[in-house]
Amino acid sequence: MMAALLDGNGMTGAQKHSDAQPYANTLARRLRRLSRGTSPFLKVFIVCATSSLAIYICADLAIDWRPVGWGVIDRMILVIKCGIVAVTPAVLAVVVVAAQRLRPDRQVGRELKPYSPVDINTRIIKNTVEQFVLFFVGISGMSVYLLHKDAATIPILTGMFVLGRTLFWIGYHKQPYVRAFGFGLTFYPTVIVVVWVVLRAAFGIYVPI
C-alpha cells in the first residue's frame, strides 16, 4: 500500500500537493497583480473605442459631403488640407512653450523643471507630433483607396484627431483619465485606418466606412 502512495521519486501525494501549493499561490498573486494593472487600461480602451465609434457614426450621419472631383489631385488637396488642420494643436503647443520658456523660474539652469507646465507642454508636443505622423500617413494611404462616396471619412477623422489632441492637452494638466481618453480618441482611429489600408492594399478587401 505504501508503494502505491509513492510516485517514482518516492514522494507521497500529500508531499506533492504541499510542494505545489506555493507555486499556485504565487501564480494567483501574479494574476491578481496583472488584473489590477490591466483593469484601468481595459476600461479606458472600452470607453475610447465605443466613444470613437459613436462620434464617427454621429458625424457620418450629420455630414453629407462629397468633393466635386475625386481624382489624384483632389485626393492630395483634401489630405493636405486635413493635415494642416490636424497639425494645428502641435503648432499651438509650440507657441505656448516658446512663451513659457521666457520665464526663468520654470527652468533649473538650462533644464526644464520636471512636470512644470512648460515641461508637460514639451511632452505634449512630442507625443502630438508622433501621433500626427501616424495619422497623416494613415489618411494618405486611405485616400488612395477610398471611394468617392466615402470621401467624408477623412475630414471626420481629422476632426476626431483634433478633438482627441485637445482633450489630451487638457487632461495632461488636469486629469490622467481625460488624458488617456484624448490619447485613445487620437490613436485608436489611426490604428483602424492602418488596418483598413492594409486589408485593401494587401488583400483587396474594401470595408465600407
Are the CB atoms for 161 and 189 separated by under 8 Å?
A: yes
- Higher-confidence residue of 105 and 126: namely 126
- The answer on pLDDT for 42 being more than 90 is no
- Locate 93 and state its grid cell: 503647443
- The answer on pLDDT for 66 being more than 70 is yes
In the chain, % of residues over pLDDT 70: 79
Tell me the domain boundaries of the chain.
13-203
Average pLDDT over residues 39-62: 89
- Higher-confidence residue of 148 and 15: namely 148
Q: Tell which CATH architecture fits domain 13-203.
A: Up-down Bundle (1.20)
pTM for the structure as a whole: 0.81
- The answer on pLDDT for 5 being more than 50 is no
198: confidence class by pLDDT, cuts 50, 70, 90: very high
Closest CA to 124 of 48, 179, 178: 179
